[in-house]
């Protein structure tokens, strides 16, 4: 069964071209000019339940743009996307309940409230059954060692703590698909290892989810997008 299907996907940005000075500003006001930049060019692929997939490419290759289109954050210029049978952009609410998303340089935690309270808000937003919420929360607290900072606001967390909390937050509602965009950027080797060990464990234990990831490889100077899929249903990208 296909979890994700992409066909002839394009994303073209229009970049304004304005001359310097007052004259250039006036000309642009009445006759704006743009040039087009092709960020994603006609890609097609499919991802089956249980499959693991990685996106590899240099900076600017379109990996993050592709993930943003897969999650419904960005509208494609052309092409078709299906995530668990939904169009991510047109069916954002329905799609949002079936995916988890972690962006390494942003957080989904509320900045000034405790991690615990952020989790409770997500509990309500996603209408997670109490037993599922408690089971997942206890599992994540143990494996990701969240207990020590559950009462701290997100703004006081270290980068490693925040990433661990964000991954837990993205998985609380048991999404069939998880997207990760450079989740380990800026982390030391030990924390990176802990994050990937957790993902491997969840991928093995939770047989009904998909995960999509884009960490950054400093060694090769390129960004890496990885999609982890469990044996039956959950996909990690």
Which H or E run contains 77?
none
Q: Is 60 exceeded by the pLDDT of residue 209?
A: no
CATH number of the domain to which 85 belongs: 3.40.50.300
Structural domain of residue 159, as residue ranges?
49-236
Tens of pLDDT, residue by residue over 150-173, are 999 999 999 999 999 999 999 999
Strand 99-103 relative to strand 177-181, pairing? parallel
CA 94 – CA 89 distance, rounded (Å): 10
In a domain, 25, yes or no: no
The arithmetic mean of pLDDT across residues 42-52, rounded, is 86
Tens of pLDDT, residue by residue over 167-199, are 999 999 999 898 988 888 888 888 888 888 888
Among the residue ranges 43-52, 115-124, 201-210, the one predicted with the least confidence is: 201-210
Give the per-residue pLDDT at 226: 43
Q: How confident is the model at residue 90 (pLDDT cuts 50, 70, 90)?
A: very high
Closest listed residue to residue 50, CA positions, set 168, 194, 206: 206
Q: Is 70 exceeded by the pLDDT of residue 208?
A: no
Using only the alpha carbons of the chain, give its radius of gyration: 19
State the sign of the Cα–Cα–Cα–Cα dihedral 220, 171, 230, 236.
Answer: negative
Among the residue ranges 27-36, 109-118, 173-182, the one predicted with the least confidence is: 27-36
In a domain, 30, yes or no: no
In a domain, 42, yes or no: no
Asked whether 199 and 212 are in contact (CB, 8 A), the reply is no
In a domain, 195, yes or no: yes
In a domain, 26, yes or no: no
For the chain, what is the domain count? 1
In a domain, 36, yes or no: no
Give the per-residue pLDDT at 113: 97
In a domain, 10, yes or no: no
Q: Is 90 exceeded by the pLDDT of residue 74?
A: yes
In a domain, 32, yes or no: no
């Amino acid at each position: 069964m296909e979890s994700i299907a992409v066909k002839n996907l394009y994303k073209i940005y229009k970049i304004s071209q304005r001359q310097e000075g007052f004259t250039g500003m006036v000309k642009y006001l009445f006759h704006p000019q743009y040039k087009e930049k092709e960020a994603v060019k006609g890609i097609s692929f499919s991802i089956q339940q249980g499959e693991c997939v990685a996106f590899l490419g240099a900076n600017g290759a379109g990996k993050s743009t592709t993930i943003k289109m897969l999650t419904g954050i960005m509208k494609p210029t052309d092409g078709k996307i299906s995530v668990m049978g939904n169009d991510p952009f047109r069916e954002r609410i329905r799609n949002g309940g079936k995916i988890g998303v972690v962006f390494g340089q942003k957080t989904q935690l509320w900045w000034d409230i405790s991690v615990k309270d952020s989790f409770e808000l997500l509990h309500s937003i996603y209408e997670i059954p109490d037993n599922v919420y408690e089971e997942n929360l206890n599992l994540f607290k143990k494996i990701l060692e969240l207990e020590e900072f559950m009462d701290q606001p997100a703004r006081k967390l270290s980068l490693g703590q925040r990433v661990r909390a964000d991954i837990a937050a993205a998985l609380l509602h048991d999404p069939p698909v998880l997207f990760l965009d450079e989740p380990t950027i800026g982390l030391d080797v030990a924390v990176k290892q802990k994050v990937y060990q957790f993902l491997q464990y969840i991928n093995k234990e939770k047989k009904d989810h998909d995960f999509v990831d884009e960490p950054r490889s400093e060694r090769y100077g390129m960004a890496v997008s990885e999609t982890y899929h469990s044996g039956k249903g959950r996909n990690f990208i």
